[in-house]
Amino acid sequence: MLFLGADIGRTTRFALVDETGRLHQQSRVPTDIRSGRAFVNGLIAAFREAIEKASAPVGAAGIGLPGLVDHHTQQIEVLTNFLNISAIDLHGECERALGIPVIFDNDANLAAFAEWQCGAAQGATDAVLITLGRGIGCGLILKGELQRGARGFAGEFGHTKIGNEPIECSCGASGCLETVVSGPNIVRRTRELLFLDPRFTHSTLVSKMRIKLTCEDVVDAAKFGDELARTVLEDTARSLGIAISNIINLLNVEKVVLGGPVMGAGDFLLASIREEVARNAFAPLLVRCSIVTGTLGNDAGMIGAGLLAKRELEQAPPK
Amino acid sequence: MVGKTIRQYRIQEAIGKGGMGAVYKALDTQLNRVVVLKLLSRELLGHEKARSRFLREARLASALDHPNICTIYEIQESEGFYYIAMQFVEGQTLKQAINKRPLANSTILSISLQFADALAMAHDRGIIHRDIKPQNIMLTPRGQVKVLDFGLAKSVDESTAHLHADLTEHGKTLGTPSYMSPEQARSERIDRRADIFSFGTVLYEMVTGRKAFAGDNNVDIMYAVCNLEPKAVAELNPNLLPGIQEILTKALAKDPAQRYQNMHELLADLKEVSSGSVQMTVPDGIHQPYAEVKRAPRNWFNQFIPSFLRKKKSGSSSISGLDAGGLTDLSQTQAQRRGKPGERTPDFSLHDDFPLIPGQHKTLAVLPFRNLASQMDDAWRVSFLEALIAEMTKFKALTIRPSSAVLQYFDDPRNATEIGRDLGVDAILLGSLLGTETRLRAVVQMIDISSGSILWAGKIDAEESDSLRLQDALCKGLLEHFKGKKEGNAALDLLKDESPDVRIDAILALKTSNDLTALNELADALKDPILEVKSAAAEVLGYHGKNATTAVLAALDESLGKRQFQTARFGVRAAGIIGSTEFVPVLLDALTCEDGFVASEAALALGKIRDLRACPDLIDALQHKDANVRFAAVQALGNLADPQAVSALETRLRDDSDEGIQAKALWAINRIRRKPFGTSTMTAIHTSTNLK
């Protein structure tokens, strides 16, 4: 049996996931955000086609969203950049159209689930996955269970407060971790730093900065030792390290898994984060705690969605 | 005992006998210096109380570290002797100096100020002398006071008082009758006010040449101490300084409650007397020299003038042909120090304010110079330090830490501001040495401790035939720099140095310069080929604020006209930091510059100046093909917080391909929405006037 696993972002990536977490028939379609209706119709069409072409029966579908999903009601509470979605019963329509059980969850939860089931957090009973991309996602595995909180909103790590920077967050508050370490804010800070320090006029990023700069550009430049890029990412590592220390101090996790495009910067970023954690976390809690990068990469969302769908199907009461 | 050696001390001669034992002059053969050795007499050795008292004296005195208190070197037992080794003070006792004649007013003031300061410190440490008398006060040839013999000193520390009580034997009179306080004479419990009374008796004797309380025997003397008032000083010294009588009256009050309650009060009154209404610092040989020990001139004629013919007001010189003494004495002494006219040209720059160091009190520590790449050994460096300190003390506006305070920082790796805080100074002078034994360069900085910034930086080169001359040349060179020779400000000279680091240091040193020339030179530094130097120049020009507007405007006009975009870029940056609306027209021009960095900096500067007139141009700049310019324009519009920009920013948020610009646009929109128009501090000029 196979399970549909989908990861919705600017692009919707989806695949059929087998019971070991391997991906089959990977596909991607641009996410239609013109309206809620266009969005739903686009999803259904793409998934239906995938199910029809599957080499084995598809038992259930898991769909990860960059927003807040009430786990019990399966209602989408917040979905940034996706307008007019609240009026649509996304869960109901998908189940009816696809003819299989569908489970929605936060994309970071699903990535955490995947890393726990078959990735970097395998074997741990208490772990946290943090994804660093356009936003900051976080999934919590505690006592061998994916933790969602009272309504499924647990893990909004990106909105924990890191300082008093006056940069306003999409959530409406200021000082959020996301305003410092998310992809767009890494680019923002890179642009700001260019004007603050004349040294950086010689950065390899300058020509790109005239046209368009992405977080991946900064990450790549840092890998090759560019001073501007490294400075920005070292600052990023400092803020992340402090925030991660808070998680370790609070939850006594044994694994912190870091994923997302920002982690593409490589070992130097991970080393800086570890250093900052060592400075700030309560030492006894660090004894059996390791900070690692995820092993499933950008596929973690799809894998987690598929495997979660499998689990939900297995655990569902017989009809 | 003479000729005998106790440990490293070889006894040379007997110099007196104290209550506890003999006092000798001895040679410390280890350090090759003369010391005073006080030995506890053999007869008292077996007495536990006597030994305890002897040791207690030394312990108490050794806790006092003051330039006017005799230093205790050590307390030891050796070969059956208990001894105290202390500083040997060359000179004469105050008793010898007075010799039954009043001292000169300058001398009285100098001695009493030093003595009062020492006693105040001892009292602050909880120690009472209890045997103050002119014999216990030494005067060095330079006029420095050294208080001796805290032998009967008592600690007023309540926690240990009970340990001392049985030693002092309440009920037994201790001290010297002519100088003891009434409560001492009555063998009552005493405190620091007993010392104040004794101080008064010594002051009286300095002023009049006579003891305040005298008698044929100790009983008569103690009676006088307890019951009689001393003769009015004006009758004995017609040159009395105004205010001295009042000080004596209060210090010699029979009732301790009517006296000065602490030495600080007395010291304050003495300072008042010494300089009229201006506070004078205690002479310490560093920033306020000691006065020569002089007696008052003999006023023979005055002695024979009937009282009704003498001027009642003290201190006036009413009779021609006679020395006035008093204040004239003081000024003569100062003139003597300066040198007679014609012999020495006064160097008034040494008496001016020292503007490099901000603040009123201007304390400075000179740290031992580091050996960066020179062949000078440690001894030379110590000697150079001391010579430099001596030179710097010539600046009257400065209080310099003595070498004893700074030598501990020899080659200390800590940073200057930390050391400066340790020493409690406003500024540190430090440097490094490069060169050979005959050719040296000293690279020097003066650091402001509170801010950590460089107040001054410079280098001095010297080439001499030997190392001592080298020392002199370097010291002289530094002194000349600080005296501000007309040849030029050292920092300005260094703006053209071949090293970018030196140029940057020189620029930073010009932060505190008020010289118009400096501003023009800083604006010129914007043309420097090194970006870091340009950036430093922009920052320091910004620091000078509106004073630098003219210089920066001129630099901008020139650089934009000549298409010197790197210079223009940092000129624009300086304009933004200065923040004057005078820059708006030139910045609007720069916003359309073909060089993306200039245009970006112009946008940022307009955002800092917050003149709403720039808003339409900044909105236009949101369409710029250069993403840097768009980003800067978003930043500026966020700073301006003009609601008319919201729509354009929302378009940017939606359409811009750069996620950094999107993030910034989100910030700017939220900022504008949070801040209602008109409530910010920016200029609320919003017209359609074309400024170009």
- Mapping DSSP onto H, E and C, the string for B511-563 reads HHCCCHHHHHHHHHHCCCCCHHHHHHHHHHHHHHHHHHHHHHHHHHHHHHHCC
Same domain, A205 and A280: yes
Residues of B near A (CB-CB distance < 8 A)?
531-532, 534-535, 570, 596-597, 600-601, 604, 626-628, 631-632, 635, 657-664, 666-667, 670-671, 674
| Separation in Å, CA of B457 to nearest CA in chain A | 23
* Contact call for residues B183 and B196 (beta carbons, < 8 A): no
Residues A179 and A267 placed together within one structural domain of the fold: yes
Where are the strands (E) in A39-144, listed by range? 58-65, 67-69, 76-79, 102-106, 127-132, 136-142
CATH number of B92-309: 1.10.510.10
Average pLDDT, chain A: 88
Same domain for A50 and A196, yes or no, is: no
User: Residue B568: which of B617, B615, B605 has the closest Cα?
Assistant: B605
Q: How many CB atoms lie within 10 A of CB B452?
A: 12
Reported as a single tens digit per residue, the pLDDT across B57-85 is 667 667 777 888 888 888 877 777 778 88
Closest in A170, A186, A198 to B532, CB measured: A198
Question: What CATH number has the domain spanning B5-87?
Answer: 3.30.200.20
Same CATH topology for B350-487 and B517-674: the answer is no
Residue B674: CB atoms within 10 Å: 11
Distance between B284 CA and the closest CA of chain A, angstroms? 49
- β-pair partners for A104: A63
Give the side-chain half-sphere CA count within 13 A for A249: 13
Beta-carbon count within 10 A of B397 CB: 16
Q: What is the bridge-based pairing of β-strands A58-65 and A2-8?
A: parallel
Q: Is the pLDDT of residue B545 over 90?
A: no
B9 DSSP assignment: E
Q: What CA–CA distance (Å, rounded) separates B239 from B206?
A: 13
How far apart CA B394 and CA B523 sit, in angstroms, is: 35
Instruction: Return the closest-CA partner of residue A309 out of A74, A39, A32.
Output: A74
- Residue A182 sits in the same domain as residue A52: no
pLDDT > 70: percent of chain B: 76
**Please, what CATH class does the domain formed by B517-674 belong to?**
mainly alpha
- Spell out the domain ranges in chain B: 5-87, 92-309, 350-487, 517-674
Mean pLDDT of chain B: 78
Same domain flag for A86 and A20: yes
Interface A-B, measured as beta-carbon pairs within 8 A, has a size of: 64
Token pair 């008064």 is at which residue? Answer: B200
Which range is least confidently modeled, A253-257, A272-276, B102-106, B516-520? B516-520
Q: How confident is the model at residue B684 (pLDDT cuts 50, 70, 90)?
A: very low
**pLDDT surpasses 50 at B316:** no
How much is the average pLDDT of A9-19? Answer: 90
Q: What is the DSSP letter of B671?
A: H
pLDDT tops 90 at residue A112 = yes
The region, left, alpha or beta by phi > 0 then psi within -120 to 50, assigned to residue B306 is: beta
> pLDDT band for position B259 (50/70/90)?
very high
Decide: B8 and B28 in contact? Cβ < 8 Å: yes
Element (H, E) at B435: strand B427-435
Please answer whether residues B26 and B33 qualify as being in contact, where contact means their C-beta atoms are separated by less than 8 angstroms: no
Q: What is the C-alpha to C-alpha distance for residues A258 and A254, in angstroms, rounded to an integer?
A: 13
Starting at the earlier edge strand, list the strands of the sheet with A290-293. Answer: A145-147, A136-142, A127-132, A255-259, A290-293
Nearest CA-CA distance, residue B674 and chain A, Å: 10
**Residues A140 and A146: beta-carbon distance below 8 Å:** yes
Q: Which of A167, A195, A198 sits opposite B600 (nearest CB)?
A: A195
Catalytic residue among B131, B505, B595, B617: B131
Fold of B350-487: Rossmann fold (3.40.50)
Cα distances from A290 to residues A49, A241, A251, in angstroms, run 41, 13, 14
B675 band by pLDDT with thresholds 50, 70 and 90: low
| Largest interatomic CA distance in chain A | 68
* Alpha carbon separation from A89 to A84, A85, B61, B151 (Å, rounded): 11, 8, 91, 99
Query: Which pLDDT does position B58 carry in this prediction?
Result: 67
Per-residue confidence band for B13, with pLDDT thresholds at 50, 70 and 90: confident
Contact A31, A9 (CB under 8 A): yes
Token pair recorded at residue B351? 């008496």
DSSP A2-37: EEEEEEESSEEEEEEE-TTS-EEEEEEEE---S-HH
* A90 and A105 Cβ atoms separated by less than 8 Å: no
Predicted confidence at residue B417, as pLDDT, reads: 87
Whether A131 and A256 map to the same domain: the answer is: yes
Task: State pLDDT tens for residues B547-592.
Answer: 899 999 999 999 999 999 999 999 999 999 999 999 999 999 999 9
Reported ipTM: the value is 0.79
Is a pLDDT exceeding 80 seen at residue A306?
Answer: yes
Q: How far away is chain A from the Cα of B586, in angstroms, using its nearest Cα?
A: 20
Quick one: which of B438, B482, B487, B442 has its CA closest to B460? B442
User: How far is C-alpha B492 from the chain's CA centre?
Assistant: 27
CB atoms within 10 A of CB B451: 11
> A143 and A224: one domain?
yes
Tokens 């029966």 belong to A57
Mean pLDDT over B639-656 rounds to 90
A289 and A305, same domain (yes or no): no
> Considering the domain boundaries, does residue A176 fall inside one?
yes
- Confidence class for position B33, pLDDT limits 50, 70, 90: confident
Q: Indicate the pLDDT class of residue B314, thresholds 50, 70 and 90.
A: very low
SS3 B428: strand
Which residue, among B253, B292, B255, B250, has the nearest Cα to B267 in the 3D structure?
A: B250
pLDDT of B279 > 50? The answer is no
**Number of residues written out for chain A:** 319
| Close Cβ partners of B431 (under 8 Å, ≥ 6 residues apart) | B369, B370, B442, B443, B444, B445
Residues A270 and A311 reside in one and the same domain:
no
Tokens of residue A303, six digits: 């894998």
- Residue from B661, B611, B669 nearest B645 by CA: B669
Contacts of A183 in chain B (CB under 8 A): 659
Report whether B205 contacts B253 (CB < 8 A): no
Residue A158 lies in a domain: yes
d(CA A22, CA B692): 65
Compute and round to an integer the Cα radius of gyration of chain B: 35
Q: Using the predicted structure, report yes or no on whether residue A87 has a pLDDT greater than 70.
A: yes
Mean pLDDT of B18-28: 80
**What's the pLDDT at A71?**
82
Owning domain of residue A264: 121-294
pLDDT at B373: 76
Q: Report the alpha-carbon angle B534-B538-B542, nearest 5.
A: 170
Going A144 to A149 to A151 to A157, the CA torsion angle's sign is: negative
- B432-455 pLDDT per residue, tens: 888 877 788 888 888 888 888 888
Q: Give the confidence band of B130 by pLDDT, cuts at 50, 70, 90.
A: confident
d(CA B275, CA B283): 13
Residue from A100, A93, A74 nearest A5 by CA: A100
Predicted confidence (pLDDT) per residue in B389-398, tens digit: 988 887 877 8
B601: chain A residues, CB-CB within 8 Å: 195
| CB-closest option in A198, A201, A210 to B627 | A210
Q: Chain A residues with CB inside 8 Å of B627's CB?
A: 209-213
pLDDT at B164 (0 to 100): 41
Tokens of A259: 């994923």
pLDDT digits (tens, 9 = 90+) for A127-165: 999 999 888 989 999 999 999 888 878 888 988 888 766
Amino acid symbol at B433: L
3-class DSSP state of A212? coil
Q: Which A residues, 197 through 236, put their C-beta within 8 Å of a C-beta on chain B?
A: 197-199, 201, 209-215
The rounded Cα A192 to chain-centroid distance in angstroms is 26
- Contact between B39 and B81 (Cβ < 8 Å): yes
Give the span between the Cα atoms of B657 and B509, in whole angstroms: 44
Listed range (A28-37, B34-43, B678-687) with the worst mean pLDDT: B678-687
A290 located within any domain: yes
| Under 8 Å between Cβ of B685 and B612 | yes
Q: What is the mean pLDDT of residues B252-268?
A: 91
Integer CA distances (angstroms), A193 to A201, A217, A255, B43, B593, in order? 10, 15, 33, 83, 21
Which of the four pLDDT bands, split at 50, 70 and 90, describes residue B688?
very low
Using pLDDT thresholds of 50, 70 and 90, give the confidence band for residue B690: very low
Q: What is the DSSP string of B92-110?
A: EEHHHHHTTSPBPHHHHHH
Closest CA to B209 of B314, B324, B309, B298: B298
Residues above pLDDT 70, as percent of chain A: 95
Average pLDDT over residues B7-35: 82
Tokens representing B20 are 């506890």
Separation CA B80–CA B589 (nearest Å): 94
Q: What is the pLDDT of residue B166?
A: 39
Report yes or no: B144 and B68 within 8 Å, Cβ to Cβ.
yes
Residue of B531, B662, B670 lying closest to A201 (CB–CB): B531
CB pair distance less than 8 Å for B667 and A168: yes
Give the pLDDT mean for A37-63: 91
Q: Do A185 and B671 touch (CB under 8 A)?
A: no
Please answer whether residues B653 and B670 qualify as being in contact, where contact means their C-beta atoms are separated by less than 8 angstroms: no
Record the tokens describing residue B387, joined without a space.
């010579």
Is residue A286, in this structure, part of any structural domain at all? yes
> Is residue A116, in this structure, part of any structural domain at all?
no
The answer to whether residue B131 is catalytic is yes
| CB spacing of B666 vs A168 below 8 angstroms | yes
Amino acid B630: pLDDT: 96
Mean pLDDT calculated for residue range A174-181: 87
Q: In this structure, are strands B399-400 and B363-366 parallel, antiparallel, or unpaired?
A: parallel
CATH of the domain at A125: 3.30.420.40
Average pLDDT estimate for B152-169? 43
Mark yes or no for CB contact B534/A170 under 8 Å.
no
Same domain for A259 and A127, yes or no, is yes
Counted domains in chain A: 2
CA distance B290 to A10: 85
Q: Which residue has the higher pLDDT, B91 or B688?
A: B91
pLDDT in the model for residue B439: 81
**A129 in the same domain as A79:** no
DSSP state of B176: -
Of the candidates A3, A237, A24, A233, the residue with the CA atom closest to the CA atom of residue A100: A3
Cα–chain-centroid distance for residue B415? 20
**For chain B, counts of helices (H) and of strands (E):** 29, 17
CA distance B537 to B492: 12
- CA distances to A122, B445, B520, B541 from B514, rounded to whole Å, are 68, 19, 11, 12
Residues A107 and A181 in one domain: no
